[in-house]
Amino acid sequence: MREQIRFFSLSRTSLLLLLLSLYSCAEVENSNSTQGETAQKAFPWDIPQQKPDRPLSKAMERLYTNYLTPRPQDNELFSSFKYTRLQGFDYNGGDGTISRRDPSKIIKENGKYYVWYTRRETSTPPQGAKNANDTIPSTDWDLSEIWYATSDDGFHWEEQGVAVPRPPKPEVGWRSVTTTDILKWEGKYYLYYQGFMEASGTKGDHCPVTLSYADSPDGPWTPANKIIIPNGEPGTWDQYSIHDPFPLVYKGKIYIYYKAAFGDRPDYLVGNGLAMADHPMGPFSKHPLNPLFNSGHETSLFPFQEGIAALVIRDGNENNTIQYAPDGINFEIAAVSSLLPAAAGPYLPDAFDSQGNGRGISWGLSHFTGMGEAQKKYSILARFDCDLSLDVDDPAMKNTQIWLDPEVYFSQGLSEKQKAERIQ
């Protein structure tokens, strides 16, 4: 019996060993065949246009889910940008007493292109809030007016004069009217703009948005003389500033995207939100999900296919991106580019009637700030070209390798203080 038990226990042990060895053989075989399969199915050289049915890294996954196409060259929402100096604007020899900045979107009326913009003409360049008075500007956009220009070809512009002057104190915008954009609605024209009631920089860059309206793009413009998009409740993200109003007509409603800032300069973080209305005079209701963008200074937008696309330039983790929201609300990064136009005002033939079939953009005006020597800060308007249009196919605008003169990099040199710290 004891023998039987020993035999039985031996045979149990050997059975176990046998099973173990069979299992490890199978494992080896399995892992060999996995390696074999992986080797067979390495990612193809000819990049698939559709998402392949295979395990993907996060980067390759988002190549197919976040972007319209895997190659930027084929991506209608990727573009590089080219710039041209404009003819027709005088800057008083660049002495800082004349500045033009923050162009509106461009529309075509009466066979001509129209643009509106901030124009400052002051006896001195900006001197900061502490030195500002009734004639000395604090910032480049203090003591400004809204002017307009027209063009036959988008390169040569003719300045037509003031559209919206500063109203008398204490009306909205008495200190400065700046950073405008145009809406056309039921045959009338509406200019939305920032209306300053104190010199910018006094407490921050604080202002609400107001408007003027006209029957013709040439005016005369009548000021609404009231706040149209008010600042938020105390303690909320847009409590002090509503900047860069950008009106579009989308889904039959007026959509005005705008910028506000968490905190004040220089430590602020920008966000961009949306206010919507059924009539240009309001009332405007702010979207409950605001802010809709976590980045982007002077964000400009355009109808694209059934949704809205945006150039998100400067400021924030997602600066230098082109974003897209099929519903105009939930934006995702659709492309990353460089040298994006600052404060772009694109030519937008379908800004007010895209009907869910936005065609995109291929040119517009933007600005360059910080012109002149240190004490002569002013801005100029310039033209940008790109291919973010479904109607344009310009491979020269899909360049991901931008070569810049090394001087551009060296101009971003270390300060003396930084250099001293690094030398130690």
Among 105, 119, 175, 243, binds ligand AAL (CB under 6 A): 243
CB of residue 197 to ligand AAL, shortest distance in Å: 13
For the bound state, the minimum distance from the C-beta of residue 119 to ligand AAL, rounded and expressed in Å, comes to 12
User: Among residues 80, 104, 150, 179, which is the contact residue for ligand AAL, using CB under 6 A?
Assistant: 179
Question: Can you tell me which of 181, 238, 298, 315 binds ligand AAL, judged by CB under 6 A?
Answer: 298
Using CB atoms within 10 Å of the CB of residue 127, give its burial: 0 to 12 exposed, 13 to 18 middle, 19+ buried.
middle
- Give dist(CA 83, CA 95) in Å, integer: 23
Question: Which CB, 244 or 387, lies closer to ligand AAL?
Answer: 244
Q: Is the CB of 137 or the CB of 307 nearer to ligand AAL? A: 137
The least CB distance from residue 153 to ligand AAL, in Å, is: 27
181 lines the binding site for ligand AAL (CB under 6 A): no
What's the min distance (Å) between Cβ of 255 and ligand AAL? 19
Residue 235 phi/psi, 5-degree rounding, is 90, -5
Write phi, then psi, for 20 (nearest 5 degrees).
-60, -45
Q: Does 297 bind ligand AAL (CB under 6 A)?
A: yes
- For residue 313, the minimal CB distance to ligand AAL (Å) is 10
- Nearer CB in complex with ligand AAL: 72/195: 195
At closest approach, how far in Å is the CB of 123 from ligand AAL?
20
d(CA 326, CA 357): 11
* C-alpha span between 296 and 311 (Å, rounded): 8
Q: Is 299 one of the binding residues for ligand AAL (CB under 6 A)?
A: no
Residue of 357, 352, 368, 360 whose CA lies nearest to 335: 360
Among 178, 210, 295, 366, binds ligand AAL (CB under 6 A): 178
**What is the CB neighbour count within 10 angstroms for residue 237?**
17
Please state, in angstroms and as integers, the Cα–Cα distance from residue 214 to each residue in 163, 219, 249, 357, following that order. 10, 5, 18, 28
Distance CA 92, CA 281 (A): 37
Q: Shortest Cβ distance from residue 247 to ligand AAL (Å)? A: 16
Closest CA to 271 of 252, 244, 307, 253: 244
Beta strands in 61-133 (DSSP E): 82-85, 98-101, 107-109, 112-121
- Least CB distance from residue 318 to ligand AAL, whole Å? 17
CA distances from 3 to 12, 13, 14, 15, 18 (A): 14, 15, 16, 18, 22
- Applying CB under 6 A, among 142, 145, 244, 387 the residue interacting with ligand AAL is 244
Binding mask 255-274 for ligand AAL (x = CB under 6 A): ----x---------------
d(CA 78, CA 387): 8
Smallest separation, CB 164 to ligand AAL (Å): 15
Residue 407 CB, nearest approach to ligand AAL (Å): 26
Instruction: Output the six-digit token pair for 63.
Output: 């190549």
**Which residues, numbered 335-364, are part of the site for ligand AAL (CB under 6 A)?**
343
For residue 240, what are the CA distances in angstroms to 93, 208, 231, 298? 36, 8, 6, 16
**Count of residues near ligand AAL by CB under 6 A:** 12
Nearest residue to ligand AAL, scored by beta-carbon proximity: 179
**CA proximity to 78, closest of 302, 395, 334:** 334
Contact 375, 146 (CB under 8 A): no
CB atoms within 10 A of CB 279: 12
Ranges within 103-142 binding ligand AAL (CB under 6 A): 141
DSSP 13: H
Structure-block tokens of residue 331:
């934006």
Q: Which of 79, 81, 102, 386 binds ligand AAL (CB under 6 A)?
A: 102
32-61 residues in contact with ligand AAL (CB under 6 A) are none
In the complex, what is the shortest distance from the CB of residue 347 to ligand AAL, in angstroms, rounded to a whole number? 20
Residue closer to ligand AAL by CB (options 205, 385) is: 205
Judged by CB under 6 A, the residue of 76, 142, 145, 205 near ligand AAL is: 205
The C-alpha atoms of residue 11 and residue 8 are separated, in whole angstroms, by 5
Instruction: Tell me whether residue 290 or residue 305 sits nearer to ligand AAL (CB atom).
Output: 290
| Residues at the site binding ligand AAL, with contacts judged by CB under 6 A | 102, 141, 178-179, 194, 205, 243-244, 259, 297-298, 343
